[in-house]
Chains A and B, each alone.
Chain A
Amino acid sequence: MYRTFLSWRYLRARLTNLIGIVGIAVAVGALIMILSIMTGFLEETKRTVRGNLADLIVSPAQDAQTSAGGPVPRDPRIALEVIRADPRVVAASARLVWYGLLAQGGQRAGTSRDVLTDTEAGRMMGAQLVGVDVLSFERFGYPLLEGVSRLMGWPFRAPLVQDDFDTTDLLLGLDRDPHPKRLGSPVEDPWNPFAPPRTGADIPGPKRASVIVGEQLFSALRMRRGDELELATVVPDPLTGRVSISNRKFVIAGSFRSGENAMDLERIYLERTELADFLGGGLAFSEILVKTQDYDRHGRALQVDLERKLAERGAIWWNGREEDLGAGGQVRTWEDFRRTLLGAIENERVLMAIMLSLILLVAGFTIFAILTMMVAEKRRDIGILAALGAPPGGILATFLLIGLWDALLGASVGALLGVQGALHIDRIEQWLSGVLGVQIFNRDVYFFDRIPAVVEPGPVALIVGGAFAITLCCAAVPAWRAARLDPLVALRYE
């Protein structure tokens, strides 16, 4: 009983103990906040990147010879058929990715001729042209038709409709509210995004195909929905191999917001068939996006299996070596695509945790210093306790308990502050930015508009446990010294 009673009384009697408690609280709080934010960054980045990609991406080596003897097919149908046949696959869709040029200025944009004749070369911008399948009519029309046919007794069965909406977060990007500080303008109907816009400038002349522009590009070039946009690109002739220039005018159907900066700054979506036509019809697809039922469970196995099946059907190139299958050549996971980025964030997270653990160590040393001073101060008390019948183990426990109170109070307050701080980090950042007059979190730099924070019980428990372990280790040395103190030397200490 005296151990708890005396340790608590000694803790309250010395103000210096508060320094140790505050030290632990700050260390635990900072560690929890930083780790939660870094975990949030990682999770949010993964989510954004994964959503904008797909679970698996098949990128056949174009023009390479397949095991079937011929070149890799320019049409995605065989590959799609093979992939969709796998029960672990939820959906698969084809994409065509190419690069083009556009002149800055929105409705004032110069034509591609101006760009190419260098009159506006200084204002020229590169753009990633992504041709996607959005089968709006088929998605709604086929089930309707099947329903009518059933009523009429006709033998019509709706074919499988799978498009980019089934494999990626494209629909989410189209439907998302525009960024408050940008001038985005979402498409009129996200389910039918390439429908010609009803609003916007009335452009005379032939009907143009629609494009959807990344919000940052849209905003930077002061575009408006309904504006005309002229794109230029270079296309290799499949027969002669010569490069020719192609340019075409499109109408802007709106903007999309993926949340990934690079994408929002340079990507333009258009219908795959339209892009293929723009490129002269030589290319129909460049990659196939695959959505799996359970990526964490099947992802890697499916990667190998699909690569083998596609190679056997002659849909991708294969050197015939079994060990090369699944090496991330033509069938890659979304993590393979962003390995460097995710690895960098994970590294930062680990480094931050290690560096911030040093604060905890410093707090532990503070406890060590405070308790060492206290043992020196309390030499006489230790002698009295021994004379009254307290065994050395009891004296050790008394001083160890002071460390335990320090850890308990410090870690509890720290955990509370850390968790609350992480959960309200956005408000804290805004308040701090206002007070300091400096923008602490630049929302234009990252994928996301708010500071993401994910509080996981595991790391919080680990940090709190670590704080206890370090504090008790640091308290054990002075407590052990107190227990070994000769009671007579202590009693003579006046």
Chain B
Amino acid sequence: METRTFDPARGGAKHLPAQRPTTGGGQAPNGPLLVVRGVEKHFLLAGAKLPVLRGVDLDLERGESVALLGSSGAGKSTLLHVLGLLERPNAGSVRLDGRECWALSIQERARLRNRAIGFVFQFYHLLPELTALENVLLPAMIAHGRLSYLRNRSKLRSLATQSLTRFGLDRRLTHRPAQLSGGERQRVALARALFNDPALMIADEPTGNLDSTTGAAVLELIFEEQRRRGLTLLLVTHDESVAARCARTVHMHDGRVV
């Protein structure tokens, strides 16, 4: 398996324009891609503190696939959101490719999320007004400026078409999500998550809403892409057999990695 270094100057994907590095990374580029130290998160419920993450430490190596297992309420989803830069922790640090993510500005964090992290959700989360092709192109539209996008439009559309074709959706390019099956929607979501060629893919129970056959096909695609691209995969699942396909399994219990 070939492992890959995330290039902060280019944002990972070949089609993206070069960007100024967001922070001065103090970590060696060949160290772990993601380093999580002492992450704490609590919510306020009726004025009382409800701790969800109690000092999580976690390292994700480049090109590694990690399954995150745990019972309901163990804090898996919250950890995923913190690592996906969607939820700010109350304490601790999250370093992606050597950069302290939660020290970045909102804009810089959004740019990092767009270029370095790909999300696959349980409920697909495609935009209903857009076709399959447009949904896949959305991360590139966010990454590119207007002129840059228009200049590269045909190239980007060709890349998105190739990606969907590889996932067996070549006859579904102009279909809206409502016209697609669950498996097809999840494949579109996978193509979208991978379009900016991220270094880290976070998948939150990607087969939780699919039947076993379709789920298995989607999982197969996820692992195949992970291997082919050498990206780091963090997969949340309840299914031990799915977790077994990952290189490493991390268990969570009561807000801690055990």
- List residues of chain A with CB under 8 Å of any chain B CB: 1-2, 4-6, 9-10, 13, 380-381, 383-394, 487-488, 491, 494
For A487, the chain B residues whose CB sits under 8 A away are 86
The answer to whether A389 touches B81, judged by C-beta atoms less than 8 angstroms apart, is no
Residue in B134, B143, B146 whose beta carbon sits within 8 Å of that of A389 in the complex:
B143
Q: B111, B126, B130, B150: which has the most chain A beta carbons within 10 Å?
A: B130
Interface flag for B241 (CB, 8 Å): no
Report B124-154 residues with CB < 8 Å from chain A CB: 125-130, 134, 138-139, 141-146, 149-150
Given contacts A389-B114, A488-B87, contact A2 B138 (CB under 8 A): yes
In the complex, chain B residues whose CB is within 8 Å of the CB of A5: 134, 141
The answer to the question of B167 belonging to the interface, with a C-beta cut-off of 8 Å to chain A, is: no
CB<8 Å pairs between A and B, sample of 28: A1-B142, A1-B144, A1-B146, A1-B150, A2-B138, A2-B141, A4-B146, A6-B127, A6-B129, A9-B130, A10-B129, A13-B129, A383-B125, A384-B126, A384-B127, A385-B138, A386-B110, A387-B84, A387-B113, A388-B119, A388-B142, A388-B192, A389-B111, A389-B139, A391-B111, A392-B106, A392-B110, A491-B121
- Which residues from chain B contact A488 at a C-beta distance below 8 Å? 81, 86-87
For chain B, which range describes its interface: under 10, 10 to 19, 20 to 34, or 35 or more residues?
20 to 34
Q: What are the 7 tightest A-B residue pairs by CB atom distance, in nearest-first order? A: A389-B114, A2-B141, A391-B110, A1-B149, A389-B113, A1-B141, A384-B125
Question: Does B123 make an interface contact (CB < 8 A)?
Answer: yes
* Contact between chains at B142 and A390 (CB < 8 Å): yes
Whether B213 is near chain A, meaning CB under 8 Å from some CB there, is: no
| Nearest CB on A from B188, distance (A) | 12
B interface, CB within 8 angstroms of A = 81, 84, 86-87, 106-107, 110-115, 119, 121, 123, 125-130, 134, 138-139, 141-146, 149-150, 192
Query: In the complex, A4→B145 CA distance in Å?
Result: 11
The smallest C-beta distance from B180 to any residue of chain A, in angstroms, reads 16
Bound form: Cα–Cα A494–B121 in Å: 13
18 other contacts beyond A387-B119, A390-B110, with CB at 8 A cut-off? A1-B141, A1-B142, A6-B127, A13-B129, A384-B127, A385-B138, A387-B113, A388-B139, A389-B111, A389-B114, A389-B115, A389-B139, A389-B143, A391-B106, A391-B107, A391-B110, A487-B86, A488-B87
Q: Which residues of A contact B111 (CB under 8 A)?
A: 389, 391
Q: Which residue of B lies closest to A391 (CB)?
A: B110
Q: How far is the CA of A368 from the CA of B43 in the complex (A)?
A: 33
Decide yes or no: A393 and B107 within 8 Å by CB, A10-B129, A387-B113 being known contacts: yes
Contacts of B149 in A (CB 8 A): 1
Q: How far is the CA of A394 from the CA of B141 in the complex (A)?
A: 11
The distance in angstroms between the C-alpha atoms of A387 and B110, with both chains bound, is 8
Checking B114, B123, B144 against A388 with a beta-carbon cut-off of 8 angstroms, the contacting residue is B114
Which chain B residues border A384 with CB–CB below 8 Å? 125-127
Q: How far is the CB of B20 from chain A (nearest CB, A)?
A: 16
Q: With a CB–CB cut-off of 8 A, which chain A residues contact B192?
A: 388
Determine the chain A residues whose CB is within 8 A of the CB of B127 once the complex forms.
6, 381, 384
A434 CA to B121 CA in the complex, in Å?
A: 64
